[in-house]
Amino acid sequence: MSDKQKSLTYLTKYLKNYKKPILISVAFYLIATIAQVIAPSLLGQAVTNLSAFVKWHGSLGVFYQALAWMAGFYAFNSVATYIAWMMMTRFNANANNDMRKGLFGKLQRMTIRYFDTHQDGQILSLFNSDLDNIFNALNNAFFEIISQSLLFVGTIIVMFVINWKLALSVVATTPLILLLSWIIMKKAHVYLDNQQDRVGELNAYINEQLNGENVIITQGLRDQSVAGFKKENAKVREAMFKGQFYSGILNPLVSGFSLLNFAIVIATGAYMIMTKQVSQAAGLGLIVTFTEYSWTYFQPLTQVTSIYSMLQLALTGARRLETVEEQEEENTVPDGKTILGVNDAVRLEDVHFGYTPDKEILHGVSIEVPKGQSVAVVGPTGSGKTTIMNLINRFYDVNSGAVTFDGVDVRDLKLENLRSNVGIVLQDSVLFSGTVADNIRYGKPEASMDEVIAAAKEAQLHDFVMTLPEQYDTPIENGQANFSTGQKQLLSIARTILVDPAFLILDEATSNVDTVTEEKIQKAMDNVIAGRTSFVIAHRLKTILNSDKIVVLKDGQVIEEGPHADLIKKRGFYYQLYTSQMAFE
C-alpha cells in the first residue's frame, strides 16, 4: 500500500461513522457558498445602476435593492457557515476521541516484539503529535478544503454564465499556478514527512534520557546528554525549516498571481468598453463584479496553499497511525484449549528460538518443570534465561520445538487461559497510580481487604505498609518515590500470591538491595514458591540452593542439570560458577 493509500485508509476508517454530520455540514457549506457566489453579481448590478444614474439621472431603486440583496446573501452566508462549522467541530472531537481509543486499544493488543523494537518516545509521539496534527487539520483544514472547493467550482460556473471573456481572463494564470504548486508540494511533502519522523526520534531521545537521568547524573554525563539532545534537536530544526519553507512559499506565490489577475481582469474589462463590446455602465459593473470574482476565485487557492503543511502533517500522521494499525497483534487463540492449573508438568521440548531470523539464541533447549517442583535456571549473562521466560509466557513463539503445559502446546491454548495460569514476578516491578491496596489487588480487583493483608504478610510487606502514613490507603506517589526497589518487588510478590497462579516464574533480583531487604525478599520468595510449580531465573546462586532442580544454561544450550549437591559433586561449569560467586559473598 502506498503512503497516500495508507493515510486515506486510516482516515476513512475513522470518519465513515460520521457520514451524517459530514453530509449536513457539507450541505450548509454548499448553501453558504451559493450565497457567497451570488453576492458579487449583485454588487455589479448596483455599480451598473449607480453609474447609469450618474450618467442619465434615472432611479436609484435597483441600486438600493441590489445592495439590500447583497447584504442579505452575505448574512445568509455567515449563518450557514456558522452552523456547518459547529457541526464539524463536534464531529471532529468525537472522531479524534475514537482515534485515541483505537490507538490505545491497539497498543494493548500488540506483541511484546513491537514494544521491544520501538522506543517509548516514538510511541508517545503518535498520541501527542500525530493525533494532534490530524485534529488540527480536521478542525482547520479539512472543511476549509470542502468549502473552498465548492466556492471554487461555484465561482467558475457563475463567472462563465455572466461573461465568458472576463471569466477566461480570471482563470488565465491557473495552469501555471497549478504546475508550480504541484512541483513545490511534491518537495514539501518529502520534508514534512521527514519532519514528523525527526520529531518522533527527538521524543524517543528525550524519553530515554529522562528514564536514565539517575545514571546520567551519577556518571557525570549531563554535558553528553545535552550534546546528544542538541544534535537531535538540530535535525528537527532543519527538517522543520525545510518542510515549512517549501509549504510556506506556496501562499505568497499564489497571492502574487491573484494580484496579477486583478490587473488582467481590469485590462480586459477596459478593452471591452473601449472596443464597445459593452456599454460603459455595464462594463464598469462587470469590472467590479469580476475583480470581486477574481478575489473569490483565488481565495480557495491561497487558502489551500496556506493550510497545505497542516494537511500534509495530518496525512503523515494518518500514515504513521495506519502503520501501527497494521502491526501484528497477539494471537489470542479464541478457539484454543484451556487448562485448569498444572497437573503434570511444564516443558520446553527441543526449543530453537531467535529474536531475528539470522541469530538463533536457544539451540535445542529441553527443560521439565514437574508439578509442585521448583526449577531454577542459571547461567552467564546473555545465555538465554529471560528468553526462556518470554517463551513460556508466549511473549514470543518458538521457531521449532514446543513449550507445553500438561502436554498441550502453548500455541494451542487460549492466550488468556495461559496467562491466567502463569504468574510472573519481574526484576523491575512496576507500581501503578492508586493506593498500596489497589496495587496489591491489581491482578484480582475483587479481592477483599483481608486477602490483601494476608498476601502482604506472606510477602513480608505488611510491616512496611503499617509504617506508611495511610497504611494500605497510602497513595503511590508520582514516580513511586515512596517505595524502594526491594519494597516494589515485595509488593509484586504480594500481587502474585493474591492471584495464586498455577505456574510461577520468578525473575529473581536480589542484587541491588540491602541485606535486610534481601533476606525479606528471600523469605517472600520461599513463601511464594512453596508447593507451587515454579521456574526461577537465578542471578545469585545462594538463593536457589534448595531448588528441586537447577538447569545450567550456556550460550543457549543446557549443559548441566540436577540438584545443587549433584552439580557440585560433578565439578563442572556450575561448580565453577558457584565457587567463584561464593568467593565474593
Ligand X SMILES: Nc1ncnc2c1ncn2[C@@H]1O[C@H](COP(=O)(O)OP(=O)(O)OP(=O)(O)O)[C@@H](O)[C@H]1O
Do 403 and 348 form a contact (C-beta atoms < 8 A)?
Answer: yes
Nearest to 456 by CA among 500, 425, 417, 495: 495
Asked if 387 touches ligand X (CB under 6 A), the answer is yes
CA 346-545-521 angle, to 5 degrees, is 85
CA distance 320 to 302: 28
Do 158 and 293 form a contact (C-beta atoms < 8 A)?
Answer: yes
Buried/exposed code over 248-264 (b: 16+ C-beta within 10 A; e: otherwise): bebbebbeebbeebeeb
Q: Which is nearer to ligand X, 136 or 390 (CB)?
A: 390
Nearest to 209 by CA among 237, 195, 194, 230: 230
Asked if 385 touches ligand X (CB under 6 A), the answer is yes
User: What's the full length of the chain, in residues?
Assistant: 585
Q: Which is nearer to ligand X, 5 or 511 (CB)?
A: 511
Q: How far is the CB of 125 from ligand X (least distance, A)?
A: 21
Asked if 551 touches ligand X (CB under 6 A), the answer is no
Cell of residue 28, nine digits: 450548509
Q: How far is the CB of 427 from ligand X (least distance, A)?
A: 8
Q: Which is nearer to ligand X, 247 or 383 (CB)?
A: 383
Q: Which is nearer to ligand X, 269 or 384 (CB)?
A: 384
Q: Which is nearer to ligand X, 276 or 359 (CB)?
A: 359
Q: How far is the CB of 318 from ligand X (least distance, A)?
A: 29
Q: Which is nearer to ligand X, 272 or 378 (CB)?
A: 378
Please pick, from the candidates 139, 327, 386, 420, the single residue that binds ligand X as defined by CB under 6 A: 386
Asked if 393 touches ligand X (CB under 6 A), the answer is no
Q: How many residues bind ligand X (CB under 6 A)?
A: 11
Q: How far is the CB of 395 from ligand X (least distance, A)?
A: 9
Q: Residue 33 phi/psi, 5° resolution?
A: -70, -40
Q: How far is the CB of 428 from ligand X (least distance, A)?
A: 11
Per-residue binding letters, 365-384, with ligand X (x by CB under 6 A):
--------------x-xxxx
Per-residue binding letters, 320-349, with ligand X (x by CB under 6 A):
------------------------------
Q: Residue 10 phi/psi, 5° resolution?
A: -65, -50
Provide the 3-class DSSP secondary structure of residue 291. helix
Asked if 256 touches ligand X (CB under 6 A), the answer is no
Q: How far is the CB of 356 from ligand X (least distance, A)?
A: 6
Q: How far is the CB of 201 from ligand X (least distance, A)?
A: 20
Q: How far is the CB of 384 from ligand X (least distance, A)?
A: 4
Q: Which is nearer to ligand X, 208 or 344 (CB)?
A: 208
Q: Would you list the DSSP string of 339-406?
A: --S-SSEEEEEEEEE-SBTTB--EEEEEEEEETT-EEEEE-STTSSHHHHHHHHTTSS--SEEEEEET
Q: Which is nearer to ligand X, 142 or 578 (CB)?
A: 578
Q: Which is nearer to ligand X, 327 or 386 (CB)?
A: 386
Q: How far is the CB of 366 from ligand X (least distance, A)?
A: 17
**Beta strand pairing call for 345-353 and 362-370:** antiparallel
CA distance 182 to 186: 6
Reported as type and span, the H/E element at residue 507 is strand 503-507
Q: How far is the CB of 112 from ligand X (least distance, A)?
A: 8
Q: How far is the CB of 215 from ligand X (least distance, A)?
A: 17
Asked if 534 touches ligand X (CB under 6 A), the answer is no
Q: How far is the CB of 361 from ligand X (least distance, A)?
A: 4
Asked if 536 touches ligand X (CB under 6 A), the answer is no
Q: Which is nearer to ligand X, 381 or 478 (CB)?
A: 381
Asked if 355 touches ligand X (CB under 6 A), the answer is yes
Bridge partners of 536? 376, 506
Q: Residue 350 phi/psi, 5° resolution?
A: 45, 55
Asked if 470 touches ligand X (CB under 6 A), the answer is no
A 10 A CB-CB count for 182 gives 9
Q: How far is the CB of 79 from ligand X (least distance, A)?
A: 59
Q: Which is nearer to ligand X, 385 or 532 (CB)?
A: 385
Do 119 and 80 form a contact (C-beta atoms < 8 A)?
Answer: no
Provide the 3-class DSSP secondary structure of residue 569. helix
Q: Which is nearer to ligand X, 382 or 434 (CB)?
A: 382
Reported as type and span, the H/E element at residue 580 is helix 573-582
Q: Where are the alpha helices (DSSP H) in 138-221?
A: 143-162, 164-171, 174-211, 213-218
Asked if 394 touches ligand X (CB under 6 A), the answer is no
Per-residue binding letters, 208-247, with ligand X (x by CB under 6 A):
----------------------------------------
Using only C-alpha atoms, the chain has a radius of gyration, in whole angstroms, of 36
Asked if 119 touches ligand X (CB under 6 A), the answer is no
Interactions with ligand X, residue window 89-118 (CB under 6 A): 116
Q: Which stretch binds ligand X (CB under 6 A): 92-100, 385-393, 467-475, 543-551?
A: 385-393
CA 116-411-347 angle, to 5 degrees, is 95
Q: Which is nearer to ligand X, 57 or 359 (CB)?
A: 359
Q: Which is nearer to ligand X, 58 or 382 (CB)?
A: 382
The 3-class SS string of 522-550 reads HHHHHHHHCCCEEEEECCCHHHHCCCCEE
CA distance 128 to 130: 6
Asked if 361 touches ligand X (CB under 6 A), the answer is yes
Q: How far is the CB of 556 from ligand X (least distance, A)?
A: 7
Bridge partners of 348? 367, 403
Binding region for ligand X (CB under 6 A):
116, 355, 361, 379, 381-387
